[in-house]
Every structure is written in C-alpha cells, then in structure tokens.
Amino acid sequence: MPLLACILPVLTFLCQPVLGAVETCVGNQAQRFFGFLTDWADGLFGDRPNAAEEVPESASEVVGAEDTLSVIRSYLNDDSVGIIGIYGMGGVGKTTILQRINNEFFESGKQGSFDLVIWVTVSQTVDIPAIQKQIAERLGLSLSCSNTEEDARVLFKALSDKRFLVLLDDIWRAIDMQVEIGIPRPKGRRRNSKIVFTTRLSQVCDEMEAKSIPVKPLDEVASWELFSSKLRTQEVCTNPTIRLLAEQVAHKCGGLPLALVTVAKAMANRKLSRDWEDAVDALDHRPERLDDQVLRCLKFSFDYLKNDNMRSALLFCSMFPEDAQISREKLVDYWVGEGLVDDENDGGEGSMNDARGAGQALINKLLDACLLESSWSSLIGPTVKMHDAVRDMVLWINRHEYNKVDGFLAWDSIIRREDRKHIKRIRLLRKHIKRFNPDVILSCSSNRTLMLSSVRGLRPPILQGIASSMKSTLRILDLFYSDIRGELPAEVGLMAELRFLDLSFTRIASLPKELGNLVKLRQLGLVDTKFLVQIPQEAIAGLRSLQVLNMTESGYDWEADPRGGEDGGRQLKLGDLEAAGLPRLEELGVQLDTPRALERFLKSDKLCSRTRSLRVKMRHRSQSEDPPLYGEGGSLLWRVFSRMGRSLKTLFLYGDDAHPWEGGLRISLDQLPLLEFLRLDSFRSERMPEVVLVGSNFTPRSSSNIVRLSSFVMDNCDGQKGLKLVGAFPCLRNIVLGNCSTMEELALDDGVAAGIAEEGTQDDAGLLDCHLPMLSDILLYKLPSLKSIGRRPLRLPELRYIKVDRCPELRRIPLDAAGMPKLERIRARREWWDTVECAGSGGHNTKPIFEKRFIEL
C-alpha cells in the first residue's frame, strides 16, 4: 500500500496530457475519474486540509430553505454551471444560506470538490481593494494595495492552479470578477471552480451571466413555526384571542426570517391581548416611505425596545461603516462617555467597572433582540456587527426622524443648515478635513459626540472652533490617530460637559493647564503619545471625575525637572496621581522609565491597585553607574508582581543593558490573574538561561484560577536557551517569538511532558491533552539557533496559522492533522520547507498532508 500511495500521484500527473487529448471525447467523466483517483488516494493515505474557514452564522436561522440549499448543492456539482447568483429582498435569508454553504464545507473537515473555499463580504459600496485583500489573506499573499490591476494579476495567477469556490456576500452591481478582482472565470479548464454570490437585484444575476436562484419568503406554516419558537409566553397557545392576533402579527412580517425573529423577540413576553392589538396596529401604520416590508418590521422592533437608551445605542452603532466589526470594549467606552449606560440615579457618579458592566448588558440585550450580531476579530477581540437590513432601517430613521432621535452626521451625510440643530453625533474616519467643510461641524450646536479618528488637517483654529461652538454640549471628543501636533489649544478647557477625550497616537507635545477645567471628564487616552513632554500639574491633578487615565507608551518623563514647563509652572509628578485631586481614579496605564520612578510607584497602594497597563523601560540606554532597573536577580520585578499583579491586564517588560538579568526568569501567571497581554523585550544576558511561563492547573477549581493571558510576545532577547510554557493556558491565542539569537527550544509541551500537571495525559491518537485550547497563531522569526518547538505533537484545536522565517536550525516540527484540524496556513521560505520534517503521533511523516497548506514567503 505505501508503494501504491507513491505511484498514484505520479500516475495522475502523467495522465494529465492524456486527459486534455481525450477531453473532447469523454468530457467531464475523464476529469471526474482522475479527481476521484486523487481523492481516493488522499483518503487512504492522508488527511486532507480543510478548504473552508468557519464564518459566524447570522441570528436568523435557515428555515424553509432546504429546497434552495439542495438546488445550490446540485449546481456546485454541475460543471456546466460556473457562476451562481442567489437573489431576494433584504432579510429573506440570503446571507444565512451562503453562510450555511460555507460552513458545510468547514464542518465536513474535507475539501470535497474544492481546494479552497473563500468567503468575501462585498457591501453596497463596492471596494475592489478590500475584496482583493480578503481573497489575498486566504491565499496568504501580500498585495500592493495601490494598483488594483496588478493585484488582480497576482490573484489570477494564484487562483489559476486551484479548484476554488468563492462566496461573495451582498453584491449590488455587476462585477467583472476576472478583470476587476482577479478571480478566473470558471469555464474551460477551470470549470471545476465556482463563484457564488448573493444580491438583492435579479438583474445583477443576469448581467453576470449567473444561474439565478431566488430566495422566497416563508409560507404561512413555516412563518408561524419560526415566529412562535421565539415567544416565551404560554398565552399565545392557551388564549384563542391572543393566538389569532399573534398570527396576524406573524403574517405582517411577510415571511421574512429576519423580520419574524426580530418582531417575535420584541413581543416575546407580551401576555395581554391589548399589547398584541397595538402590535397589529403599529405594523399597519409604519411611515409610507418605509416601503420595504422588512424595514417596516425592523422599525417596529426598534420602537419596541425598552427605552430610549437602547434605541440611542443602536443608532450609535450605525455610524460605523457597513459590515464593520465594532469593538465591544470601545463601543461601551463611548456609551459611558455619552452617559447612555450609567444608572439614571447616579448621574455618572458610579464606578467605571459598573458602567462597563451595564454597557455589556446593553449589548447583550441588542443581541437578544437580533438587532446586533456577535462576531470576533483576531486584532481587537470580541466585536459586534449590524445586519445590512438593520443598518438600512437605522439609516432611514436617521434621515427621516433625526429630530426625534439622536441623529448623526457621517462623511457622506447631507443635512440642511436649518436641520443641523438636531444632530447629536458626528463621525469622520480617515479623511482630510479640507474635503469636509468644517463649518458643517461647527454649525451642529447640539452635538455631543465628535469622532475624528485618523483625520488629517486638524489645525489649531479648527480645534478652537470646535471647543468654542460645542462647549456646553460635547461629551465625547475622539481624536485617535489624527495629525494634531504641538500644544492642544487652551480652548479645550471650555468644554464643560466633556466626559471622554482620546488623544492616543497623536503628535501632541504638551497639554494646556486649562484641561484641568474639565471637571466631568471620566476617560483620558494618551496612549503612544511619544512626543508628549509637558503636562502641567494643573492639567490633570484637578480632574475630580477622572476614572481612566491611559498613558502607556507616552513620551512623558516622570523624573524630569518638575519646573520644566515653558511658563515655569510645575509639571505633573507621580505623586499627583494619588493626591486628593483625583478621588475617582480607577484605571491607570503608565510607562516608567527609571528605577527610581518604579521604586516610587511601588510605594503607593493606590497607584499599584489601580494600574491596568504597565510598561517598564529605561528611557535612555542605561549606563553601568545607573542603579539596576530590576535589582539583583530581579527583586524589584517580584515586587511588581506582588504589589500590582492582581490588577494588571497589560504588561510590557524591557531588559536593562547595564545590569543583565541574573538567573532564570520564571513568571507564574497565578500572580497575574487578570493579565491578557505580556511582552518581554531586550532581555540580554548569558546568565539568564531560560524563560518559563507557568499557567494554571488543567482542572482549575474556580474561574478565579483561570489564566487569562491571550497574547505573548518575546522579542529582541539574547542569552536564553529556552522558552517553556508549563501548565494550561486556556485563553492564549497568539505566541510571537523573534529576534532571539540564542533561543534553541520553544517547549509548548513542557507542562505535560515534565509531569507538572497530573491531569495532562495522552489521548487515543497519542496526542498530548489540550492545554492550549484557543491557540490560533504561532509566529517565529529570526531565531538562528532554534531547534525545537516541542517534542511531541499537541492537540491544538483552534490553531490556524504558523509562520516560520529565518529559523535555519529548525529541522523538525511536530504536526499531526488530527490534533490541528483547523490549520490553514504554514508560511515560510521554500528552501526551509523543502528540508524540514513534519512528524505526527508515533513519529510518522505528515508532510504530504500539510503540503497544500504551505504558502511561500
């Protein structure tokens, strides 16, 4: 059998010319035969990689769509059909059907007819570079992002030798897939590939020469089944009057799954016939201009939300671009800034922790109402999205009823001057202010939220005008990554209602003392303000409502001359942060640049208990006469862990060149129970043999014992021979190890192999127990001495990506397909991949299994 396994691929390859010659005679049957031959050999002698990535399915269920799914499946197996168009009105379930098709390939764990299944979100405004980027990411390619024609040629070449299935969601105009994007036309020798898309417009299917599949609304029986399944009251079943009214409500949803689910959720607990009569009446009298059935039903669900805060929060989400993944954490911080989630009785005087808890609860309520959808981003963590139809409904409200709700102004909004008094929110993203008349912003006198992220051209006169015109209304001013520089205008101190100010990633150099007039300010972001050198004591020390101050990676020197300001005024010191002027400070992010600053910080119970983010790094290259940053053998670091370990979420540690570390560095994460991100940088010492991270037990007794670390980075370190992970890391998603010239071993399996945790055992396949259940990415680069990343294969159920670059001594990697069912990409240089061994459980060669997952750097 092993000999046959070698012969079959060669036979298949040699027969390809014959296939071309006889194709006109036997057509598809010959190609099907050789495809079957290859599939059969792969099935016998190795696992095949999963062609698809899982996509989260919408809240709407696939109800009454089995016939449609069957038709699509038959076309996917029909070589005469290359392009398939799924069309129907908004909310009818097109996206849900496409998601089901994608996830069927994912759940099968095999490729079936395709080498690669690619999911692409298109959206109403067709963005060709964004589409190309999504495809390139699945192929593991980097594009120019400046020349779409060149990028199309790159994608065309990469896809030409694959049997692909491209799924494009939400197309609004005909697209020449080959010319505009680079997706080869599925015909001729590529007829085994497919393109499937969804659209609201049947003419798009015609213009793209697609086989059209309509998605029709549910019939009365299926509609009632779906609607009633979401109700939580027995009265619908036991009271004939309510049952009749409920059936009328379901009927008015027009058989649209999204409408049925959202309306049912709105009525889920209604027990009185009067409530149902009102619902029937409300669905009969939606505004005439809201002529789409699903929008009318969604408008009903919007109106039936419990309070104005929930409606306002949903409106806030629609300011973000279509299909955007919105960070849950950032969204809640905005809502706190606006005052949407504080208890009405505390008037913003509650704790930040309680306010954020209320914000997460509000998100969950909108998720329960099916007006938001849960998602996840590898970059920003938990996110939410809006269904296109929900966003359409909210945008309709914003256009036609902005005088009744918290209307907003976005980049493409056109609002008459006389109507601007109703605008409560403005959001511009990645624009130049010259292309947007600043007078439009300044004339919105009732505005309370101004988000100018990544906006260019924000010169002092514009900021002065904003501060002056909105001084009695503005609550949120977000200038994240904008190009403001120099001193923030003193007029900022006029904004008496400001609660949220973010100046992170700007080139601000000094803060005005008038900032201290913002007595209602609760959150101040100064992350990565590397040019910030002057902060007058009055700018911060009197902010009596300040709860969050994040200065991580700021350039501010806490040990500089206290009278270093241009006007000779006293500069902010660490002691000011614990003084009576900041009575509500709860969360602090800080960078400490000297041993003296670190020592002083550790003496303060208040500062230690409130620090969430800490970066410890010598400001300048240290000299031998300087005191040691961490002390003999790191004694000062152990005090960091004991004094503030229970509060830290982010920790950046940099080595001390003048005083190299003595002994191994062993970090027990039970001392850092809330820590999510850990980075070790520039630890250079031949007397520091290894770094050990100790996680939790395999069976923690309570949630408080769970290690929450999600990302670990170790960079630019020399002298260490090994990095070991001991125990379980249930939340760890990313490991990055690079620029470590002496590192010989990354021991991912040390926690089990060394017998640290008795619960760590092997399964029937010989794989070690899963102590890294969420690990998705491993990045290894510039490790010239690395020889091992584990002795035996691990069970890593979520691992999707491995990158190895310039690790010439790494000749063997433990890879077992059974333990890594979701591994999609192994990126490396071809010369390394051709020589490396892949060993599975029992030591057998698994390289042929992973060959198709290799992508050349």
Q: In the listed set 271, 303, 335, which residue is the last one of a domain according to the structure?
A: 303
Same domain, 231 and 205: no
Residues 248-262 have a mean pLDDT of: 86
pLDDT (average), residues 658-664: 86
Last residue of a domain, one of 252, 270, 303: 303
**71 within some domain:** yes
Average pLDDT, the chain: 83
Is the pLDDT score of 529 beyond 60? yes
Per-residue confidence (pLDDT) for residue 510, from 0 to 100: 94
> How far apart are alpha carbons 99 and 327 in whole angstroms?
22
State whether 201 and 144 are in the same domain.
yes
Q: Taking the CB of residue 797, how many other CB atoms lie within 10 A of it? A: 15
Same domain? For 201 and 230 the reply is no
Residues 419 and 376 grouped into a single domain: no
Burial of 182 (0-12, 13-18, 19+ CB in 10 A): buried
181-195, 422-436, 508-522: which is most confident: 508-522
> Model confidence over 762-778: pLDDT tens digits?
444 444 456 889 999 99
Residue 591 lies in a domain: no
174 and 256 share one domain? no
d(CA 283, CA 245): 12
d(CA 808, CA 325): 38
Give how many domains the chain has, as a whole number. 5
**What tokens were used for 122?**
């298109």
Q: Are residues 412 and 522 in the same domain?
A: yes
pLDDT at 416: 67
pLDDT value of residue 38: 42
Over range 824-847, report the average pLDDT: 89
41/79 same-domain check:
no
Residues 134, 196: one domain?
A: yes
| Rounded Cα distance, 206 and 604, in Å | 71
Asked whether the predicted pLDDT for residue 562 surpasses 60, the reply is yes
Same domain, 194 and 251: no
CATH number of the structural domain spanning residue 393: 1.10.10
Specify whether 444 is located in the same domain as 575: yes
- Average pLDDT, integer, range 359-365: 93
pLDDT per residue over 611-629, tens digit each?
Answer: 999 999 987 766 667 788 8
Same-domain pairing of 574 and 447: yes
Reported for 160-163, long-range contacts at CB under 8 A and 24+ positions apart, including other chains, are 160/184, 160/190, 162/115, 162/116, 162/193, 163/113, 163/114, 163/115, 163/116, 163/192, 163/193
User: Is the model's pLDDT at 414 over the cut of 90?
Assistant: no
Range with top average pLDDT, 152-156, 485-489, 805-809: 805-809
State yes or no: pLDDT of 505 exceeds 70: yes
* Domain-embedded: residue 734: no
The residue-averaged pLDDT of 181-187 equals 90
The burial class, CB within 10 Å (0-12 / 13-18 / 19+), for 78 is middle
Would 678 be classed as within a structural domain? no
Determine which of 83-87, 612-616, 656-660 has the lowest per-residue pLDDT on average: 656-660
Closest to 522 (Cα-Cα) out of 463, 582, 589: 582
CA of residue 181 relative to chain centroid, distance = 25
Q: Is the pTM of this model over 0.85?
A: no
Beta bridge partners of 778: 735, 802
Q: Which residues of 647-683 are buried (b: 16+ CB within 10 A; e: fewer)?
A: bbbbbbbbbbbebbbeebbebbbbebbebbbbbbbbb
> What DSSP assignment string belongs to 213-269?
EE-PPP-HHHHHHHHHHT---THHHH-HHHHHHHHHHHHTTTT-HHHHHHHHHHTTT
For residue 182, tell me if it sits in a domain. yes
Higher pLDDT, 24 or 464: 464
- pLDDT value for 764: 42
Of the three residues 585, 608, 623, the one that is the final residue of a domain is 585
Task: Give the range of the structural domain holding residue 41, as residue numbers without chain letter.
Answer: 2-45
Please report whether residue 816 resides in a domain.
no
Query: pLDDT at position 43, please?
Result: 40
840 in a structural domain: no
Which tens digits make up the pLDDT trace of 462-476? 899 999 999 999 999
More confident residue, 788 or 7: 788
* CATH label of the domain that carries residue 443: 3.80.10.10
* CATH code: domain of residue 161: 3.40.50.300
* Mean pLDDT across 512-532: 95
Question: Helix crossing, 388-400 with 257-266: angle to 10°?
Answer: 70
Name the band, by pLDDT with cuts 50, 70 and 90, for residue 288: low
How far, in Å, CA of 97 to CA of 103, rounded? 10
The pLDDT-based confidence of 145 (bands split at 50, 70, 90) is low
Average of per-residue pLDDT across 389-407: 80
Q: Do 437 and 498 belong together in one domain?
A: yes
Please choose, from the candidates 620, 487, 630, the residue with its C-alpha nearest in 3D space to the C-alpha of residue 559: 620
834 in any annotated domain = no
Name the pLDDT band for 516 (thresholds 50, 70, 90): very high
Percent of the chain beyond pLDDT 70? 84
- The distance in angstroms from the start CA to the end CA of the chain is 35
How confident is the model at residue 253, as a pLDDT? 85
